Structures are given as C-alpha cells and as structure tokens.
Amino acid sequence: MLSTVLQQLVNGLTVGGIYALIALGYTMVYGVLRLINFAHGDLCVFGAYIGLVALSAGSGSGQSHLLLLGGAFILAAIVVGAAGMLLEFTAYRPLRRADRLSAVVSALGASLFIENGIMLIWGPQLRVFPSHLLPAHSWNWAGARIELVQVLIIAGSALLMALLYWFVHHTRYGTAMRAAASDQDAARLMGINVNRVIASVFVLGPAIGAIGGLFIGLYYRQVYFTMGWTYGLNAFIAAIIGGIGNIPGAMLGGVLLGLFNAFAAGFVSSSWQEAITFALLIGILLLRPTGLLGERVAEKV
C-alpha cells in the first residue's frame, strides 16, 4: 500500500509539473489581457514536435545526448516563443478593443489553424521519440520506482517556475508586467510600453509551455497532433483551480491536479480520471469561485 502511494506521488508530481508549466501560459495572458488563449495547448505541442525534429536530426550525429537535449529545449522555446509573438500580432492585437467574444473566436480559430498545420507538416499518425536519449537509470524508494526522466521533469519544472517567479517579482521588466496587469492606462502614463509587455508575455508563456510539451514527449515517448487539446484543457483547469491570473496559483493548481489525477487513476480507475477531474473543478468553483489562491492584483501577470 505504501509503495503504491509513493509511486502515485511521484507520477503525480511528474505530470503536475508539466501541467503547471503549461498553465503558466494561460494565467500570464489572462492576467494582462483577461483573455483565454485557447491556442496555447497547441503551441505547446508544436514545441514538442520542434524538439522531436531536433532530437531525430541529431541522434545520429554522435553528439552528446545532454547537449542534444539542451539544444532541443532551447530550439523549441525559441521557435514557439516566436510563434506566440506572431500569434499575438496577427490574431489578438487587432481585436484588443473588440468584445471578448471576438477574441475567443479568434483564439479558437488560431488553435484549429495550429493543430491542422501540425497535421499537414508531420502527419496524423503518432510520432515516437528516440528511446536512447536518456540513460535507463531508475531508483527504488520504499517500493516505488523513480525513473531518471521523472527526476528531470520534476526538477526542471520546479526550476523554471522558480525562475519565472523571481523574474516577475524581482526584476524591472517583471514590475512592468505586473503594472500592465493591474492597469494598462496607468502603466502607459508611467512610461511603460504596454504593447511590448503584452508581446513579451506571448513569447515567455509559449516558450515555457514548449518546454512542457517537450517534457510530455520525453515522458510518454510519443506525440500526436490533437494532443494540445487534452493537455491544454487540463492545464486550463489547473489554472482555474489555483486562481487564473495568479502565477503561484497556476503552479499550485498544476501540481494538485497532477497528484489528484495520479491518485484517481491508481486507486479508482483511469477510465474515471476525467470525470473525477471535472468533479474536482466543480467543487473548487462552488466553494471558492476565484480559485484556491484567488486573483491577487500584486501577483497577476
């Protein structure tokens, strides 16, 4: 029994770290624009495919696997960050003064465009990641099996979340982001280039999400073009649970949702996992509509 609990704890922290990274993109965009970027999950999957291309191209070159992985993560973050900025410029900026429904329709259209673009480029079939990228190391802890890729995902997610929190709360540009999230007109009066801040949010959020997408590929060793909807929806639920618009809330919500899903799959049934997830969401919204940490103005981005 104890080994099962520990195993599901490790599994939940692994998946929860991925959810948290993707949820950060939702919460950053919502914090500044009050907009749900429904294309965010597809951007994350796009990052997984970019990473897969880099890993597949370099796997036979004799390069160090560590350097190859690092290069794949950097390339995926750069390409998807650029795609996020292009998406903001073409799909969202022209509708910034329009009603929210127009922005939502534009976001859904962008999601379909990216999803079908991935299908046209890489095909509708599953794409498998190379199996020899990481050593097959694992550790046994009180009967629970901890694999190297899980340690990488948990540690990498925690490091990225800590760096993002530090950037937003302890740098000048992060202060500009929080000011734009609080009041864009007042931020302009203070000399802040709000358009540049919004563009940077659309670069930073998808770039972090791309790393989360590549983590998905490394963990499950496969990707498919419709995967963005599934993981995007779960990450969106995680952001709502923690308090959308709240960066620590997205982190907390992602980890809690990952743990909840893992224990639900391990002790109830994996077929009931989605139903239990939505039951959790409904319960959170009934008891605390603004999420566990709420929407604190000082921490919205």
| pLDDT tens figures, 110-169 | 999 999 999 999 999 999 988 777 777 788 887 788 898 999 999 999 999 999 999 999
Q: Could you tell me if 206 and 81 are in contact, meaning their C-beta atoms sit under 8 angstroms apart? A: yes
Show contacts of 164-170: CB within 8 Å, 24+ apart.
164/24, 164/204, 164/208, 164/247, 165/247, 165/248, 165/251, 168/247, 168/299, 168/301, 169/299
Mean pLDDT of 182-207: 92
* Better pLDDT: 276 or 85: 85
pLDDT at residue 298, rounded to an integer: 42
Rounded to two decimals, what is the model's pTM?
0.91
* Alpha-helix runs per DSSP H in 183-272: 184-189, 194-220, 227-242, 247-267
Mean pLDDT of 209-213: 95
Chosen CATH of 2-299 out of 1.10.3470, 3.40.50, 1.10.1660, 3.30.2410? 1.10.3470
Domain locations in the chain as residue ranges: 2-299
- Residue written as token pair 């903001």: 88
